[in-house]
Amino acid sequence: MSKRVINEHRKALTRLILSDHKLAIERLRWCTPSIPREDRLCRFCTSKPETPEHVLVECTAQNDICALRNIFTETLRTLDAGLGGLVENETPTNLLKHLIPRSDISHLLGKLAFDITRIYYDHPIYEPNGGQMA
């Protein structure tokens, strides 16, 4: 597997880390009046806040995202069996805290971030008042 850095993948991961993304947790913060954090729900499962941790690691309501995550997890297992165990045993936040600093897998995490956010951005943000934002 190539470790070639793809700018779009690197940018997608950086945007998630720096909160420069189009997920509900950030976008709905700027509504007037501000929507409470616990109400900025995932556009697919509508059960938990749409945070980077949720979209990258946790949400199971969208089949394409689950498939991408499974490929990512299997690739991690082939590189390092311990990483596969982390995926299964850590909370989403702790998992990302372990994975983000690892330069040997940053290309994989960047691709996952790019692919998953592209799916999210193709669907409107869920709005708790019953509407949806584009």
Name the residue ranges covered by the structural domains of the chain. Answer: 7-125
Query: What integer pLDDT is reported at residue 33 of this predicted model?
Result: 84
Q: Are 133 and 27 in contact (CB under 8 A)?
A: yes
Query: What integer pLDDT is reported at residue 26 of this predicted model?
Result: 95
pTM: 0.89
C-alpha distances in Å from residue 14, one per residue of 7, 10, 11, 77, 80: 10, 6, 5, 24, 24
Query: What integer pLDDT is reported at residue 88 of this predicted model?
Result: 81
Low-confidence ranges of the chain (pLDDT < 50): 1, 134
Residue that has been written with the tokens 């690197």 in this structure? 10
3-state DSSP call for residue 49? strand
Query: What integer pLDDT is reported at residue 1 of this predicted model?
Result: 44
